[in-house]
């Protein structure tokens, strides 16, 4: 039987983390409104603090002074955190999916450094929080932030062939990559001896009619468009609707295009859970303006406190 004391403590701790995350994401308008209310309370206390005679400064006066000082500290701390720290320095984020397994796990809470990308640009290998392009979002996800690993920046040529990752023509070791059991993106990591059994589409970026199209392909399908009548690889090339070729002939034309380099001001992101992540292979590039911050460390659960590789 589970230890009920441990379960209660765990639920309380997770509740604290969820509460902390919600507070960290509070809209600025709400923060300003709360600060205004607290300031109003302090103003109501001011006559008591100002006009109470020295000989009468006990009881109600002491309570009013304590409340006023606490509110004063809360107002200033809130303004510093929500108007300076959160917009320009650090912010916490919650991990809701398994796309970064096993580097980041579901229900991890991370701290992202926003200042890092105010004074510099994302680098290959960084784990980055960003606003996804519209084609990556489902209805109701408009305010959702994504977190993936940067696998390519401006000028890089990125390809995946036979499950090997190439950057600028060279095979790149990816020690952070894992595979989960097929169709279980949020499940456990697949043992490495079973990785060869996992099917994965090849990938390249191609230029088509002035736009950059992420291409996932096998011998029989390109971005969900079958090249032949019999196709067994449909699940391997899930992608945004706008990147589905209108016909097998167009699919073949796209496939014949040479790989394109990532254009200026854009980045390619992929999840470490390489067969369980909807990422740049499905919905394309991310603009520099959409980058939010660099993941620095996991802060909760506390037993997983660590810097992120």
Task: Give the Cβ contact number of residue 112 at 10 Å.
Answer: 24
pLDDT band at 10 (very low <50, low <70, confident <90, very high): very low
Distance of alpha carbon 14 from alpha carbon 300, whole angstroms: 9
Distance of alpha carbon 186 from alpha carbon 230, whole angstroms: 30
pLDDT band at 15 (very low <50, low <70, confident <90, very high): low
Number of H helices, E strands in the chain: 6, 15
More confident residue, 67 or 7: 67
Q: What pairs with residue 206 in β-bridges? A: 213
pLDDT band at 4 (very low <50, low <70, confident <90, very high): very low
- Per the CB < 8 A criterion, the answer to whether 101 and 178 are in contact is yes
Q: What pairs with residue 203 in β-bridges? A: 160, 216
Task: Give the Cβ contact number of residue 209 at 10 Å.
Answer: 5
pLDDT band at 2 (very low <50, low <70, confident <90, very high): very low
Residue 137 DSSP one-character state: P
Distance of alpha carbon 223 from alpha carbon 235, whole angstroms: 10
- The per-residue DSSP string of 181-202 comes to -TT-TTSPBPPGGGGGG----E
Q: Output the average pLDDT for the chain.
A: 87
pLDDT band at 143 (very low <50, low <70, confident <90, very high): confident
- pTM score, two decimals? 0.78
Q: What is the pLDDT of residue 34?
A: 84
- Identify the active-site residue in 68, 97, 99, 282: 99
Identify which of 25, 243, 280 has the alpha carbon closest to the alpha carbon of residue 143.
Answer: 25
- Identify the active-site residue in 68, 97, 148, 277: 148
pLDDT tens, 179-226? 998 877 788 899 999 999 999 999 999 999 999 999 999 989 999 999
Identify which of 175, 168, 134 has the alpha carbon closest to the alpha carbon of residue 153.
Answer: 168
Distance of alpha carbon 67 from alpha carbon 17, whole angstroms: 26
Could you confirm whether 220 is annotated as catalytic?
A: no
Name the token pair of 293: 């911050």
Could you confirm whether 99 is annotated as catalytic?
A: yes
pLDDT tens, 110-136? 999 999 999 999 999 999 999 999 999
Task: Give the Cβ contact number of residue 45 at 10 Å.
Answer: 17
Name the token pair of 253: 């034309």
């Amino acid at each position: 039987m589970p230890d009920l004391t441990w379960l209660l403590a765990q639920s309380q701790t997770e509740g604290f983390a969820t509460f902390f995350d919600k507070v960290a994401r509070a809209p600025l308008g709400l923060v300003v409104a709360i600060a205004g209310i607290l300031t109003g309370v302090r103003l109501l206390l001011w006559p008591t603090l100002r006009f109470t005679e020295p000989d009468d400064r006990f009881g109600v006066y002491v309570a009013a002074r304590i409340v006023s000082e606490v509110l004063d500290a809360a107002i200033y701390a809130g303004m510093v955190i929500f108007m300076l720290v959160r917009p320009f320095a650090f912010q916490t984020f919650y991990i809701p999916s398994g796309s970064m397994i096993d580097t980041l796990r579901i229900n991890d809470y991370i701290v992202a450094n926003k200042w890092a990308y105010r004074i510099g640009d994302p680098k290959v290998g960084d784990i980055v929080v960003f606003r996804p392009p519209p084609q990556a979002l489902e209805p109701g996800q408009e305010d959702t932030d994504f977190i993936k690993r940067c696998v390519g920046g401006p000028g890089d040529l990125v390809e995946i062939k036979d499950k090997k990752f190439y950057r600028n023509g060279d095979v790149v070791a990816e020690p952070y990559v894992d595979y989960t059991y097929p169709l279980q993106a949020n499940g456990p990591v697949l043992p490495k001896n079973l990785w060869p059994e996992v099917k994965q589409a090849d990938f390249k970026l191609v230029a088509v009619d002035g736009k950059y199209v992420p291409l996932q392909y096998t011998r029989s399908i390109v971005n969900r468009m079958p090249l032949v009548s019999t196709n067994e690889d449909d699940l391997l090339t899930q992608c945004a609707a706008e990147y589905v070729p209108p016909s097998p002939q167009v699919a073949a034309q796209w496939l014949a295009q040479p790989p394109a380099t990532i254009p200026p001001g854009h980045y390619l992101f992929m999840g470490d859970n390489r067969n369980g992540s909807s990422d740049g292979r499905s919905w394309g590039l991310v603009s520099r303006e959409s980058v939010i911050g660099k993941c620095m460390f996991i802060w909760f659960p506390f037993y997983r406190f660590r810097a992120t590789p």
